[in-house]
Amino acid sequence: MSKPLIYLDQNIIGLQLQGIINLSKRDDVTWVYSKEHFAEILRSNKSEKYLGVLDAIDAKLLDLVLDDNWKITGEARLIENGTPYEHYDSYIEATGDVDFDDSIFDPFQVWVNGGGDEGPLKDLSEKFAQQILRLTSDLPFDTTEMTDQVKQIKPEFDSMIDEMISNGNDIHKTRAAFGDQKGSIGSISGEKQIEKIWEIISPTMHGADISCDQFFGFDPIDKQGCGIWPIYLGIIGCNSVLDILGFQAEKKCRKLNKIHNVRSDAGHIAMGAYCSAIMSEDKRLVKRAKAIYEYKEIGTSPILVIREANKPIQPTADASAD
């Protein structure tokens, strides 16, 4: 019988580092982390310490399985060999080989969530064009046609951005347009929370032939060549939609210097879907994970770690308290 896989949110690694929680190598469970941890560790100044925690508890890396075209398949595999230090070095080497700025669309995401300002948004098309040109500059064939297409797309991109700015980004108006004039989505509780949200917003679709799965990103119309949309990408997309709607959303989703943390939270929830349980100190993350897993009938148990003054830290699998 295989051991349960317990996915640890990055904040649990932080608690272990501070000595607030006491995890150790165990024979009855496998502690799990992912490359999403590496993204967070890279942004910190404590890489050696965080990696040391993962190594000390014998945590294993859970990695997404890619196909021959480097596309996500929807499956994940546990890498039993190698240390966190070795995997982190490989991650740094791999990401360093590609001159790609994964934060390029942050201003767009922040604006849609009701935050940010016009400046970074207006610069988006130029940065996007420069990114494409950098990525194609060393290709061993003529890229003239490709660069010409980028130049043609830029005015359309600028026009779209101008329209977005003209329409404004009052998040309360956006949510009202989805049928939530009073912020009721943010207080939804109990069972089948995603379905309850859909009941509020579906009447605003005005006859559009769209399903709950499609709206929340689990079954996009354009699957980009995928027969079945990978659950990992579906969960990432669902988190973005929930940020806009205000379900267990945090203010940091509207801050340009914090949006990477929001993406990491979504990534942890998505990777946790491949495990027996996900453990976190973040109450909002645990509640959102519970709602998503329940909706997609994923068996992962969200475990909320509660820190109380002058008391030992308490993990609980009950994430439904509101």
Q: CA-to-CA distance for 46 and 42, rounded, in angstroms?
A: 8
84 inside domain: yes
* pLDDT, tens digit (0-9, with 9 covering 90-100), for 149-197: 878 888 888 999 999 999 999 999 999 999 999 899 999 999 999 999 9
Higher confidence at residue 128 or residue 229? 229
Question: Structural domain of residue 41, as residue ranges?
Answer: 5-100+261-316
- pLDDT tier, 272 (very low <50, low <70, confident <90, very high otherwise): very high
When the pLDDT of each residue in the chain is averaged and rounded to a whole number, the result is 90
* pLDDT, tens digit (0-9, with 9 covering 90-100), for 75-134: 999 999 999 999 999 999 988 766 677 788 899 999 999 998 888 889 888 888 888 777
Per the structure, the count of domains in the chain is 2
Task: Write down which residue in 214, 245, 276 finishes a domain.
Answer: 245
322 inside domain: no
181 inside domain: yes
Burial of 140-160, coded b for 16+ CB within 10 Å and e otherwise, reads eeebeeeeeebeeeeeeeeee
Higher confidence at residue 299 or residue 140? 299
CATH, residue 309: 3.40.50
Would you say residue 320 has pLDDT above 60? no
pLDDT value of residue 308:
72
110 and 232 share a domain?
yes
What mean pLDDT comes out for the span 233-258? 96
28 inside domain: yes
pTM of the model: 0.90
58 and 127 share a domain?
no
* Percent of the chain at pLDDT exceeding 90: 70
32 strand-pairing partners: 7, 60
29 and 96 share a domain?
yes
Contacts of 144 (CB under 8 A, 6+ apart): none
Task: Write down which residue in 245, 271, 305 finishes a domain.
Answer: 245
DSSP state of 65: E
**Token pair 């994970």 in the structure block, residue:** 289
